[in-house]
Chain A
C-alpha cells in the first residue's frame, strides 16, 4: 500500500518536474516570469486529445503520434510567442513583463473554449500499459512506470543538454552574466529563443503524458500554473535541480497526504510552501541576491 503510494507520488513528481522545469529555466536564463506557462500545458492536453481521439480514434498509434508531435507543436508556439512578444520585454519593468502573459492566458483559454467547448476531455491509457505490473510485491499501474521512466529519461537529457553540450555551455554563460556573454560574442537572442523552445517542449510533453490520467478542462491552465509555481517557489526559481527536488517533495506530500485527509491535499502543498518561505524566502535551492 505504502509502496503503491510511493510510486504514485513518483509519477506525479515526474509530471510536476516536466511542468515546472521549463518555467524555472526561462526565469533562470531570461529573467522573465511566464505566467502563461500553464496555458501551454492545457493547450498540449487538448491538442493531444484531438490527435488521439479524432484522427486515430483513440488508438495506441494516436497516443504515440501525439506524444511525438504535440510537444513539438507547443515548442513552435513557444518560439513564435518569444519572438513576437517576450523578446521585446526582457529589459522592461516587472509589471509590463507580466501583462502580455496575462493577455496570452486570456487568448489561449478563449481559443480552447471556442474549439473544444467546456467539457472535460480525456483519452484511454495506451493498451501497452493497461496491465498492472508487479514491482516488489505490489501491483503498480503500468502507465505510472511509463511516466516515471519518461520523466527520468528527460531529466537526464536536460542535464546532458545543459552540462555537456556547447549549447548548454552558452546557456549557462548567458544565465550567469548576460552582458559578458554578449560581449564574448554569444548570440544571446538565439539563446533566449531556444531556451523558450526547450521549456515549452517540456511543458507540452507533461501535458500529453498526464492526459490519460487526468482530463483536460478549460480550467487546467491555472491549475497547472499554480502547481508549477508551487514547485519553483519551494525549489527556488532558476534552479532545475531545485525543481526536481521540490517536485519529488510535492509529489510525495500529495500521494501520502491523500491517505490522511483526501480532500485537502492541496492545503498540504500550501502549508509546505508557507513553511519553506518562512525558513528560506528564496526557496530550497534559490539564491537571495535579487
Chain B
C-alpha cells in the first residue's frame, strides 16, 4: 500500500508548486546571507551542510532503494581526515587546505568502496544491519584512536581556511557550493545512470535482464553519495573548526534518513525540504522540552505511520485538490 514506486511522478506533476518552492528557498537563502544576524547565519550554515548530507543520502536511499545506516561515517571521515591533516600535519595554507579537502573526500570515497564492495551483494535486511554495524565500527575507531582523532575530547583547533573565517563569507560560499552540488546531483538523478538506478530499485531482476550492471551501479551510487557526504564533512570541519565523534554516530545517520523521509524520498527536493524542517525542529524542540529527543522519536513514528510519502507528497496532493 505504501510501496515507493506508487508515489513517483503523480499525474499532475505540480511544476508550478515546484518552481515556486525553489524560488522561495533560493530567495530565503540569499536573504539570510545578506540580512541575517550572526546566530541565524550559524544555524543556516548548519542547515546547508545538513541539506548536502541528506541530498547525497537520498541518491542511495530514494533513488537506488538501499537503506544505508552508515552515511554519517563518510561525513565524519571527510571532516576528520581534513582536520587531522590540518592539525597534526600542518596543511594549513590555502594550497594545503585545498589538498586536504581533496584528500578528505577521496578518503570517504575509498571507505565507501571498501564497504560497498562487501554490502552491495546482500539483500535489504542484511544491507541495513551491515551498514549500521560498519557505521558503528567507524564510530568506535574514531572514538578510540585518541592520538589521531582526539577521541571523545574531539579534534579541536582546526585552522580551516583563512579566507573563510568570517561567518557571512563562509555562509555565502557554502550556499553557492550546496546549490551547485544540488544542481549536479539533479543532473545525476535525471541522467541515464540515474534512471538505471531507479530501475534497479524498482526491480533488480528485471534491470539485470535488460543489461544494467546492477552491482556496479549500486556501488557507484553508494560511492558517489559518500563523496558528497565527505564534502559536507569538510564543510563541517572548516565551519566549526573542530570535529567530534558524534558526527559519525548512529544518530547522525538516522537524522539524515529521517530528513529524507520527512521531505519525501521520491522527490528530488524532498531531502532539501526535509533537512530544513528537521533542523528547525531540532533547534526549536530543546527550547520547549528537555525530552526533545523523545518528541523527535514520536514525530518520526507518526510520519512513518501517517505520511510515508513525506511532506512533498502531501503538498502535491493538497495542490492538486486545490486546482480541481
Contacts and interface: CB of A to CB of B under 8 A. Distances in A.
Given A33-B128, A93-B3, A85 B305 contact: yes
B12 interface: no
A89 B133 contact: no
Contact of B133 (A105, A109, A114, A270): A270
A68 interface: no
Interface stretch (B101-109, B219-227, B292-300): B292-300
A229 B308 contact: no
A230 B137 CA distance: 12
B269 interface: no
A222 B126 contact: no
Interface stretch (A96-104, A148-156, A239-247): A96-104
Interface string B53-72: 00000000100010101000
Q: Quick one: which of A99, A107, A226, A290 has the most chain B CB within 10 A?
A: A99
A96 B2 contact: yes
Contact of A273 (B65, B123, B133, B297): B133
Given A99-B261, A103-B297, A237 B250 contact: no
A226 B136 contact: yes
A281 B301 CA distance: 31
Given A96-B304, A225-B132, A91 B118 contact: no
A85 B297 CA distance: 13
A59 B119 CA distance: 47
Interface of B: prevailing SS: helix
Contacts of A266: 137, 140
B130 interface: yes
B2 A93 contact: yes
A92 B126 CA distance: 18
B61 A95 contact: yes
Given A110-B291, A233-B126, A266-B140, A99 B133 contact: no
Contacts of B67: 94-95, 98
B88 to A, nearest CB: 22
A213 B61 CA distance: 39
Interface residues of B, number: 46
Interface in A241-281: 266, 270, 273-274, 277-278, 281
A232 interface: yes
Given A110-B297, A282-B126, A92 B2 contact: yes
B265 interface: yes
Interface of A: prevailing SS: helix
Contacts of A237: 125-126
Interface in A92-139: 92-96, 98-100, 102-107, 109-111, 114
Contacts of A290: 123-125
A43 to B, nearest CB: 14
Contact of A88 (B123, B134, B137, B305): B305
Contacts of A229: 129-130, 132-133
Given A27-B125, A100-B304, A233-B130, A95 B265 contact: yes
A8 B134 CA distance: 26
B113 interface: no
B322 interface: no
A58 B227 CA distance: 52
Nearest to B304: A99
B141 to A, nearest CB: 10
A179 B65 CA distance: 26
Interface string B247-262: 0001100100110010
Interface residues of A, number: 44
A208 interface: no
A18 interface: no
Given A106-B296, A107-B298, A96 B137 contact: no
A137 B250 CA distance: 45
A96 B124 CA distance: 13
A35 interface: yes
B200 to A, nearest CB: 14
B257 A102 contact: yes
B129 A85 contact: no
Contact of B297 (A95, A104, A230): A104
A110 B294 contact: yes
A91 B3 CA distance: 8
A91 B308 CA distance: 12
Contacts of A233: 126, 129-130, 133
A114 B291 contact: yes
B261 A95 contact: yes
B129 A33 contact: yes
A223 B305 CA distance: 27
Q: Quick one: which of A89, A98, A266, A274 has the most chain B CB within 10 A?
A: A98
Interface string B1-17: 11110000000000000
A226 B250 CA distance: 11
Given A33-B125, A92-B2, A102-B257, A107 B297 contact: yes
B303 interface: yes
A226 B304 contact: no
27 contacts: A27-B125, A85-B301, A88-B305, A92-B2, A92-B304, A92-B308, A94-B65, A94-B67, A94-B124, A94-B128, A96-B304, A99-B303, A102-B254, A103-B297, A103-B299, A104-B301, A105-B250, A106-B293, A106-B296, A106-B300, A109-B293, A225-B132, A229-B132, A233-B130, A237-B126, A277-B122, A281-B126
Given A100-B305, A225-B132, A282-B126, 4 more contacts: A35-B69, A99-B258, A223-B136, A282-B122
